[in-house]
Amino acid sequence: MAAILLFVGAGVAIAQYARVEYVDGFPELRKAQGGSDYIDFGMELQSGDSVVTGRDDFVELSQGADSSIRVEPDTVFTIREVETSTGRQTVMSNSVGSVSYRFGRMTGREPRIGTSTVVAGVRGTEVTVYAGADGSAMFLVDSGEVEVTSAGESVSLTEAQGVEVPAGGPPGEVFEIIGRAIDFSTWSGEKQDEFLADPIGSLRGLEAQLQDYYGELIVLQSLYTEKRAEYDAAYADLEDAVERFGRESDEAEMIREVVGPLGQEATVLAFNIRYYALTSLSLRRYLLGQMSVEMKTRYILDRENPTYTEFVALRDSILEEYESRITQHLVAVDI
């Protein structure tokens, strides 16, 4: 994979995706290349970077002159990339917490927003995304239009509409925001209560979402293996042609015209493998990890409780499959 990325390096250059305009408190920037730092005014976020806010932190980001992102307290916000049939697309998500977006008039490809379990496409929109500790999500649209997709089903939201999405499940019924007071802390507390009332059900929802990502990875890995084999064979032919006829020969140029597209196709597949692997990592780190902490705290004096032992058994099974499916696609800086 590294060889292909180097070969088509001009097409995978790291771009700047957001600029820090305002900071309150001491939020943290977790860098795509590894390591972390405190966030300060004027910092530029790259694909793969994450903003992590604490209880008293707040960050406002800008994207150009007329688009902004508000990262609220107790939130993990990440910018990633995914390749689609129409080209590379930015995906912005919060694993937990609350993020509000305001997109001005768009001149390029529409971004995708959401959580670790749900994605949405937007069109000239002001929208807020809530991510619960149980993997559930809620989308609230102030203006514009949003299409929310989960578990193979989609709903469209317009001005003053919202929808809740359970972890691993399809979107619920669209509701009207007007006249309905919706506060993140209250909603988040309700999701926490729902998790504690049925921790096994919540864990099953997270497991279902991970299974969807595993399925995508299996398909992508198979395609990548085939494309990489084609690329390696073509590259070997190119090296042979260069050795026999010279680097600038017609023979070498003909093969080079084959090698380049094969390398680009393999790179697209590699990017998407990384996307699903890192999204799975977010689920494991921020959702499954938080669930485990909550259950340990709740049952600290009752570790033999049947609910707790069933939760631990299921969690360990999920972690075992996660290790076999995902770890091979991660690198040291991810962990």
Question: pLDDT of 239-283, one tens digit each?
Answer: 999 999 999 999 999 999 999 999 999 989 998 999 999 999 999
**Which CATH code fits 13-183?**
2.60.120.1440
Torsion sign (Cα): 15, 17, 20, 25? negative
Q: Given pLDDT bands bounded at 50, 70 and 90, which one contains residue 123?
A: confident
Long-range contacts of residues 221-230, Cβ cutoff 8 Å, at least 24 apart: 221/273, 223/269, 224/1, 224/266, 224/269, 224/270, 224/273, 227/262, 227/265, 227/266, 227/269, 228/1, 228/4, 228/266, 230/262
Distance separating alpha carbons of residues 169 and 116, to the nearest angstrom: 13
Q: Given pLDDT bands bounded at 50, 70 and 90, which one contains residue 105?
A: low
Distance separating alpha carbons of residues 49 and 32, to the nearest angstrom: 5
Proportion of the chain above pLDDT 90, given as a percent: 75
DSSP 127: E
pLDDT in tens, 222-237: 999 999 999 999 999 9
- The answer for residues whose C-beta is within 8 angstroms of residue 56's C-beta and 6 or more apart is 24, 25, 73
User: pLDDT averaged over the chain?
Assistant: 89
Distance separating alpha carbons of residues 231 and 4, to the nearest angstrom: 9
Q: Given pLDDT bands bounded at 50, 70 and 90, which one contains residue 109?
A: low
Distance separating alpha carbons of residues 266 and 233, to the nearest angstrom: 13
pLDDT in tens, 151-174: 889 999 999 999 999 988 899 999
Q: Given pLDDT bands bounded at 50, 70 and 90, which one contains residue 83?
A: confident
Between these two residues, 209 and 111, which has the higher pLDDT value?
209
Asked if residue 53 has pLDDT above 70, the reply is yes
pLDDT in tens, 124-155: 789 999 999 888 999 999 999 999 999 889 99
Distance separating alpha carbons of residues 294 and 192, to the nearest angstrom: 9
Q: How far is CA 121 from CA 64, 82, 117, 142, in A?
A: 19, 13, 14, 15
Q: What's the pLDDT score for residue 2?
A: 40
Q: Given pLDDT bands bounded at 50, 70 and 90, which one contains residue 191?
A: very high
Q: What's the pLDDT score for residue 193?
A: 92
Q: Given pLDDT bands bounded at 50, 70 and 90, which one contains residue 84?
A: confident
Q: What's the pLDDT score for residue 257?
A: 94
Between these two residues, 3 and 40, which has the higher pLDDT value?
40
pLDDT in tens, 202-214: 999 999 999 999 9
Q: What's the pLDDT score for residue 108?
A: 56
Q: Given pLDDT bands bounded at 50, 70 and 90, which one contains residue 64?
A: confident
Find, among 152, 55, 150, the residue nearest to 98 by Cα.
55
Q: What is the mean pLDDT of residues 112-123?
A: 88
Asked if residue 8 has pLDDT above 50, the reply is no
Asked if residue 86 has pLDDT above 80, the reply is no
Domain extent listing, the chain:
13-183, 200-334
Phi and psi angles of residue 76, each rounded to the nearest 5 degrees, phi first: -120, 115
